[in-house]
Amino acid sequence: MSRTNLLDREVGRAMSALSAAAKRGLGDPALAELVVIRASQLNHCAFCLDMHLAIAREQGVRESQSAMLGAWEEAGDVFDERERAALALTEAMTVLTEGFVPDEVYAEAARHFADAELAHLVALITAINSWNRVMVARRIPPGGYTP
Amino acid sequence: MTTDASAATGTTAATATASTTASTTATATADAPARYAPAHTPRLNWAEHAPEVFKAMLRLDAAARKGLDPKLLELVKIRASQINRCALCVDMHSKDALAAGESVERIVQLSAWEESEHFYTEQELAALALTEAVTVLTSGFVSDEVYERAARHFEEPELAQLIAAITVINAWNRFGVTCRLVPGHHRPGQHA
């Protein structure tokens, strides 16, 4: 049985507005792609991985970083402390079902991001989690994205 | 009609009903009010720091609820909020559901809905199964079985809206949990 391709136009526009506002406020397009790819890995969104790997290249994200995202905690100095804080927050916020966002994860993020940046980072992680859900639920195949 | 807008205003939480109740006598008997723990404080007022994001979330919430039965929507929102453990969202949507005429029994049974199917319609059960699958993506995909069950009970445009609505409550849950917004202050209709 094929799944629906429908996404209400206004829902799609509002989701795009959400992502755009989050990225603008974070002001770090390369970091944004690292976060987005990691969340998409955790949520198993093939479409999103395909799309954001291409965008990450455009944004100048190093291949060594993209490739190591699945094991970032063991990747030594491939990621700096700020990136690691953002990735830890991404994981905690994406896997809510195993229990909250720990104080140490939040505090480490708050150490590296000012309040407004942090609010937009939280929004970005939320936004990609939203895209992951509408793509996975409808089983949108990867490969359809062209930069 | 309410939105999850108070996910943005958790800072007013310090005067919890529970805290007020907790200030009663130390010689409590079985009939006296319990002494509750103090309320926590929120981590971050995200909407104040990201007003454009907040606006987009309100717009998304309004778009996603179009065409969905309000009572079904509240059941979906409560169940997703339970799974994601968003205290503020559970508080808000339980109250909104009650205000919309939902029964206490159906709200209470939501956390065990698979074993209390006779409390719900087949359509509601299909929606709850889809809610769980779309909420717990990290344990693997949305199965064909769950998707097809939903597709049997919802016409395609409505199914697309249901997927969107599940996505949106998951988004509010993430803001609520991450920013540790405080439950207990929602009044039904306050965001109408």
Is the confidence metric ipTM above 0.90 for this complex? yes
Instruction: Provide the pLDDT for residue B12.
Output: 41
Q: Which two tokens stand for residue A147?
A: 């930069």
Q: Cβ contacts (< 8 Å) between A95 and chain B: which residues?
A: 138
Chain B residues 140-179 with CB within 8 Å of chain A: 140-142, 144, 147-148, 151, 156-157, 159-161, 163-164, 166-168, 170-171, 173-175, 177-179
Distance CA(A128)–CA(A115), nearest Å, equals 20
Which CATH code of 3.30.200.20, 3.20.10.10, 1.20.1290.10, 1.10.3720.10 fits the domain covering B70-187? 1.20.1290.10
Instruction: Provide the pLDDT for residue A115.
Output: 98
CB B137 within 8 A of CB A130: no
Instruction: For residue B120, give Cα distances in angstroms to A25, B73, B95, B127.
Output: 43, 13, 19, 10
- Determine, for residues B44 and A119 on separate chains, whether the beta-carbon distance falls below 8 Å: yes
Identity of the amino acid at B105: E
The mean per-residue pLDDT over the stretch B26-30 comes to 54
Higher pLDDT, B178 or A98: B178
Question: Chain B: nearest CA to A43, how far in angstroms?
Answer: 5
Domain boundaries, chain B: 70-187
Which CATH code of 3.40.50.300, 1.20.1290.10, 3.40.630.40, 1.10.3720.10 fits the domain covering A9-138? 1.20.1290.10
pLDDT category, B8, cuts 50, 70, 90? very low
From the list B53, B57, B142, the residue facing A137 with the nearest CB is B142
Backbone φ, ψ for residue A108 (5° rounding): -65, -40
Assess A126–B contact: CB distance below 8 Å, yes or no. Answer: yes
pLDDT at B21 over 90: no
Instruction: Provide the pLDDT for residue B10.
Output: 43
Instruction: Provide the pLDDT for residue A6.
Output: 95
- Could you read off the pLDDT of A45-62 as tens digits, one per residue? 999 999 999 999 999 999
Residues 6+ apart with CB under 8 A from A30: A56, A59, A60, A61
> Taking the model in full, what pTM does it have?
0.90
The full 3-state SS of A121-144, as one line of letters, equals HHHHHHHHHHHHHHHHHHCCCCCC
Pick the range with the lowest mean pLDDT from A26-30, A79-83, A96-100, B117-121: A96-100
Question: Chain B: nearest CA to A145, how far in angstroms?
Answer: 21
- Please, is A129 exposed, middle or buried when counting C-beta atoms within 10 Å of its C-beta (0-12, 13-18, 19+)? buried
Distance CA(B59)–CA(A105), nearest Å, equals 30
Domain boundaries, chain A: 9-138
Helix/strand/coil for B3: coil
Number of cross-chain residue pairs from A and B with Cβ atoms under 8 Å apart: 167
pLDDT at B42 over 60: yes
Question: Chain B: nearest CA to A72, how far in angstroms?
Answer: 18
